[in-house]
Amino acid sequence: MDQKQKLLMKNKLIRLCAFLFFAGVSWSASGQDYNNSSQLAQRLRTLANSSQNVSLQSITKTLGGKDIWMLSIGTGDVDSKPAMAIVGGVEGKHLLGVEMATRFAEAVASNADALENTTYYVFPNMSPDATENYFASIKYGRSGNAKETDDDRDGRMGEDPFEDLNGDGLITMMRVEDATGDWIMHPADDRVMIKANRSKGEKGAYRYLTEGRDNDQDGKFNEDGEGGIHFNKNLTYAYPYFTPGSGEHSVSELENRALLDLLYTKQNIYGIFTFGPGNNLSSPWKYNRAGASKRVVTSILRGDDAINKLASDAYNKTVGLKDAPASGAQGGDFFQWAYFHFGRLSFGTPGWWAPMVKGDSTMKANKDKNREVNFLRWSAQNDIENYFVDWTEIDHPDFPGKKVQVGGIAPFKMLNPPVSMIEEVSNKHNDFIMELASLQSNLEMQNLKTESVGKDMIRITVDLYNSGTLPTHSVMGTRSKWLQRIKVTLTLGNGQQIVSGRPIQMISSIGGDSSQQLTWLIKGKGSVSITAGAPHAGNTSATVNLK
């Protein structure tokens, strides 16, 4: 059994102990459901109070008065060790990401081996104003924070919100029979609506709208409700100007600014793992020469694509989720910002999706593998509760004389499985993050030699070796210059002189399992010291006796 296998096995044993220890924390706080903001805060405080390896701080409060929490998890001087940031709640409808990030923190806090060489900064929930809607009396899939917005830009705010027309406490959808509509029922399941494909001779039969009324009589429905700014639309990479939810300008929100301000002070961060809609682990990003050649780069760079492929292969082997939906990465999102603008290795996954199921002889074939059709079948097979609101006809004042039905998949259900179902998938993701961290760069000095060349002069030669699998720098980090270069310093003693070589050298990057040879010619006796490192790549040192 090699060292990596031993580490994974030890991680599993520690994880079991941590689960038993923190089980009371997790389940008493959540009531076997997802945490609201106050429950999450108590859960994080309990974790911080129970472990000397954990510190907790609020980096800001949202306009809704909710804390944005950061857990610093590590031993010794945590800011001097290479670090990974784990970020959840980038999408307000995705409570699973909050839970997965929190469970990771609980698992790693007691894992001494995992914390020996790595620090973890965990940000469980970047969208607490939005996730709180899961616990509201009227639920809808909210993404925005508490800022008032004029999404339709008519000079008024919040004049056309959702309305619960059928009184079930959920905002779902409306389908209106209308020959001018663009929508039809899915051939495999008439509960699901899809756009008519006119190239195949299909004709629309319905309008398909969110549940509510056209309060401002502008022909649009629910286009200007509580609104808010989406955390995951407010970052600088491919920022979507003039788009509802994106804000008046990038990084306009308290939570976005606080996170970025903090990350830029943490020079020891080499990688970011995001639980959210963006996914480059089930399928890695592909290098595109044209995109990589642009002044504003839009493709992963050559070299970084190989790292992403390595991580993706490990993810699929460890986690084992298949049939992933298309990545939900979009302009202004955090997951892409972390790579393209922050220059760190960036990995993201939703963490879970309803697996594709096989229909039986009583079901029509789901030929296009429609995700909603599949979700309904998976939910029925797994006895999921309240996952669908049956289509029910209502009288709608905006559609006199037309048949209007309200119904559809209940909010939050497709993205967030029951908490009772996520232990296994959460544990697998924890294992994967630990495996990813075990690959991080690690600087060592190898083959240190001294050679007398006469006249009190000594030649020093050493190989600065990266024993990790990952390079010390991403290609994007080197190109953007956001990652500090490796600094090699030779410190002389009294009466010594450098004849050849430089006392300070800067190295842009050292690949995984690769080295760079350094040499100096020193005149004098005694000893010299050599130090080398970068905050995110680790440090190493040696003392050389000159004879």
The yes-or-no verdict on residue 516 having pLDDT over 50 is yes
Q: How confident is the model at residue 156 (pLDDT cuts 50, 70, 90)?
A: confident
Q: For 301-336, what is each residue's pLDDT tens digit?
A: 999 999 999 999 999 999 999 999 999 889 999 999
What 3-state DSSP class applies to 236?
A: coil
Q: For 350-364, what is each residue's pLDDT tens digit?
A: 999 999 998 787 889
What are the C-alpha distances in Å from 311 to residues 28, 30, 281, 536?
A: 35, 32, 7, 19
What pLDDT was estimated at residue 88? 98
Q: For 158-202, what is each residue's pLDDT tens digit?
A: 766 889 999 999 999 999 999 999 999 999 999 999 999 999 999
What 3-state DSSP class applies to 247?
A: coil
Q: For 262-280, what is each residue's pLDDT tens digit?
A: 999 999 999 999 999 999 9
Contacts of residue 379, defined as CB under 8 A and 6 or more positions apart, other chains included, come to 354, 387, 388, 413
DSSP line for 88-114: --SSTT-HHHHHHHHHHHHHHTT-HHH
Residues facing residue 472 across a β-bridge: none
Q: For 282-294, what is each residue's pLDDT tens digit?
A: 999 999 999 999 9
Mean of the per-residue pLDDT values of the chain: 92
State the Cα–Cα distance between residues 103 and 43, nearest whole angstrom.
10
Give the mean pLDDT of 454-475: 95
The yes-or-no verdict on residue 7 having pLDDT over 50 is no
What pLDDT was estimated at residue 224? 67
Residues of the chain with CATH 2.60.40.10: 443-546
What pLDDT was estimated at residue 218? 77
What pLDDT was estimated at residue 17? 44
State the Cα–Cα distance between residues 376 and 148, nearest whole angstrom.
35
State the Cα–Cα distance between residues 332 and 236, nearest whole angstrom.
6
What are the C-alpha distances in Å from 160 to residues 216, 382, 400?
A: 6, 37, 20
CB 279 within 8 A of CB 349: yes
What pLDDT was estimated at residue 32? 81
% of the chain surpassing 90 pLDDT: 85
Could you confirm whether domain 3-134+228-349 is CATH 3.40.1160.10? no
User: The tokens 């070589």 sit on which residue?
Assistant: 501
Q: For 376-435, what is each residue's pLDDT tens digit?
A: 999 999 999 999 999 999 999 999 999 999 999 999 999 999 999 999 999 999 999 999
CATH of domain 443-546: 2.60.40.10
What pLDDT was estimated at residue 15? 47
Q: For 18-67, what is each residue's pLDDT tens digit?
A: 443 444 443 333 448 999 999 999 999 999 999 999 999 999 999 999 99
Q: For 58-107, what is each residue's pLDDT tens digit?
A: 999 999 999 999 999 999 999 999 999 999 999 999 999 999 999 999 99
Residues of the chain with CATH 3.40.630.10: 3-134+228-349
Provide the residue type at 281 as one letter. Answer: L
Contacts of residue 442, defined as CB under 8 A and 6 or more positions apart, other chains included, come to 117, 466, 467, 468, 538
pTM, two decimals, is 0.92
